[in-house]
Amino acid sequence: MNVLCIVGPTAVGKTKMSIELAKQLNGEIISGDSMQIYRGMDIGTAKATLEERQGIIHHLIDEKNPDESYSVAAFQQTVRAKIAEIQSRGKLPIIVGGTGLYIKSVLYDYEFAGESESKEVDEKKYGHLTNEELHAKLAAVDEAGAKEIHPNNRKRVIRALEIYETSGVKKSEMIERQEHQMIYDACLIGLTDDRRALYDRINRRVDVMYEQGLVEEVKALFDQNIPESAQSIRAIGYKELYDYFKGLISLEESKELIKRNSRRYAKRQYTWFNNQMDVTWFDVNVNDFNQTVQEVLTCVKNQ
């Protein structure tokens, strides 16, 4: 094993697990969360504080401004370079997070066939279409591909359409043709929990985020005129509070929406990792987390 990866739904304990394992396995942590890369977005993305990191080096945190975009291709390139860098120091790279496609793009032979993630798309060509109309247009030619892209992610929808219109091949078919072989000797650990217990923990986490100052954190972005179309503001916890600041919903409604959307996201995360990657799952012992740490350690050391 030369790479360790810890995945699972939000609020399940991935950050805590990664720090414990990094201490015992001489590791450095690479964030596999697509939103922790943004500065000024600490509470809503549940970044580990400096104190919580316990001296463990963390990579890909606070590297972009909230008005900048960040792609899967850029993540893949950066993380693969980080893995080599960490290994050159004789340490274990530990990728931790819940953004499934980002993590898979690093570990597997994931190629962006026929697509440049950094290339600007032709907005003028589709400017007359709403997000919903554009997504429906993609679904008409590539139903499977459309299901993988949120209707509000206009840029990715247009890219997928451009691939089909220029090559006659569906993006989903291009991805399907790849062999999905892991390119690292990696150990994939997944953390899970009883769904009701996890949902309760998510609800409590959102309450704590509000107590810690989530509203003020998002208000700072809103006051900086970071547009709601920015990639960073699509994050759960930010888009809902933008609606509050625009007077569309109440503060309490924003909190309930964040809880609901976080629960739904957790369900999608578990399903995605379970179907897309060869993960060894561990039930988290909330009352004795160290027991779970020891179980994971035993598994990792036997790899």
Distances (CA, A) of 113 to 17, 171, 184, 198, 237: 35, 8, 20, 37, 33
Q: Where are the domains of the chain?
A: 3-111+180-301, 123-177
Strand order, beta sheet including 92-96: 58-59, 27-31, 92-96, 3-7, 186-192, 280-283
What global pTM score does this model have?
A: 0.81
**Which pLDDT score is estimated for 222?**
98
Q: What is the pLDDT of residue 121?
A: 56
98-114: average pLDDT: 82
pLDDT attached to residue 117 = 45
Tell me: the pLDDT tens digits for 224-239?
999 998 999 999 999 9
Residue-level pLDDT at 170: 78
The torsion defined by the Cα of 170, 159, 275 and 96, in degrees rounded to 10, comes to 150
123-177, CATH topology level = Histone, subunit A (1.10.20)
- pLDDT exceeds 60 at position 166: yes
Task: Give the pLDDT band (50/70/90) at residue 12.
Answer: very high
What is the share, in percent, of the chain residues with pLDDT greater than 90? 73
112 pLDDT tier (thresholds 50, 70, 90): low
Find, among 118, 101, 113, 222, the residue nearest to 169 by Cα.
113
| Residues contacting 267, CB < 8 A, separation 6+ | 9, 195
Arithmetic mean of pLDDT over the chain? 91
Q: 3-111+180-301: what fold?
A: Rossmann fold (3.40.50)
pLDDT surpassing 70 at residue 154: yes
Instruction: Report pLDDT digits (tens) over 174-219.
Output: 666 665 789 999 999 999 999 999 999 999 999 999 999 999 999 9
Can you tell me whether residue 121 is helix, strand or coil?
coil
pLDDT at 126: 86
Query: Is the distance from CB of 198 to CB of 150 less than 8 angstroms?
Result: no
Identify the pLDDT of residue 115: 46
Per-residue pLDDT reduced to its tens digit, 50-67:
999 999 999 999 999 999
Query: Over 60: is that where the pLDDT of 116 sits?
Result: no
Sorting pLDDT into bands at 50, 70 and 90, what band is 261?
very high
Report pLDDT digits (tens) over 37-49: 999 999 999 999 9
